[in-house]
Amino acid sequence: MRLRSIGVVGAGTMGQGIVQTAAVNGIDVVFKEISREHLETARRAIETALDREIDRWAITPSEKKAHLSRITGTESYDDLRHTDVIIEAVEDLWDRKSEVIHDLDLIIPDERVIVTTSSTLSVSELARETRRPDKIIGMHFLRPVPKRALVEVVRGFHTSDDTYAVARRFAEALGKTAVEIHEYPGFVTTRVILPLLAEAMQTVMEGVATVEDVDRAMKLGFDFPAGPFQIADQMGLDDVLNSMEHLFQELGDPKFRPPAILRRLVRAGHLGVKTRQGFFSYNEFGEKTGGAIGGDVK
């Protein structure tokens, strides 16, 4: 099966990244949002990201035009029926994801594979919302999607070998390296990174070092391309909090307990790169523009 087109439901930060990456790699994309306003917002964000690539001399204006020509927005599930693979990329909340997957199952052809982008939720449980559990699979993309080489391909209990092969070909068509994951809370990347982020936050809360110095220590000491606080900002602090709460509930391990400093930032609406303010401040391109937050958020 040659992947010529994909459908994407949800065009937030994750969905935008998948849409952009697919279009840049020559795949036609139909993405669905709940309103014309949301569609236009997403398209403007993708255009801005491509403009940034022009500024970096990574693409030309004519290439940008070609990439955008492969992208179509819609408010209707029906427009996704003809695409080869469907990707659900809505908020990582059970009610929202299960509703979308259930609706897709009723509308799109039975032979289509449905991909969920969840970083914590059970692929097997989501598959129970459908009549095709063998065709449900997880693909956990890391943010920012166009820049990250990895995608975790997560097999549910009933996921077939054929479905896994489709997901792996899709990952390769996006220029990604696929790692096969057998379902378990947090998979690999989320499960391993969250305790590091929590410990970094706890270190700051205890007054051991500042946010900037913790990031500097991990970057210079272990050759991290970004420190734990910048990583958290890139992931989205609300998503980090949701993932920690989910794994703490699922596994009962205190290493996943969300630190108070994280809760306070999320409650204040400081969600990281997506809101341009988290542990650090950022510009519209996701580049750091300011120093770390002060100690009053402890």
Q: What is the pLDDT of residues 40-71, one digit of tens each?
A: 999 999 999 999 999 999 999 999 999 999 99
In a domain, 187, yes or no: no
Burial of 219 (0-12, 13-18, 19+ CB in 10 A): middle
Average pLDDT across each block of 10 residues of the chain; the chain has 298 residues. List them in order.
90 95 97 96 95 94 97 96 96 92 95 93 94 97 92 96 96 96 91 96 96 96 96 94 93 96 97 94 86 61
**pLDDT tens column, 132-148:** 999 999 999 998 899 99
Percent of the chain with pLDDT over 90: 88
Q: Indicate whether 75 and 147 sit together in one domain.
A: yes
Of 182, 212, 231, the residue at which a domain comes to its end is: 182
Identify the pLDDT of residue 123: 95
Domain ranges, residue 261: 194-293
Identify the pLDDT of residue 296: 45
Q: Indicate whether 126 and 268 sit together in one domain.
A: no
Q: Indicate whether 163 and 33 sit together in one domain.
A: yes
Q: Are residues 139 and 154 in contact, defined by beta-carbon separation less than 8 angstroms?
A: yes
Q: Are residues 24 and 115 in contact, defined by beta-carbon separation less than 8 angstroms?
A: no
Q: Indicate whether 50 and 162 sit together in one domain.
A: yes
Q: Are residues 132 and 105 in contact, defined by beta-carbon separation less than 8 angstroms?
A: yes
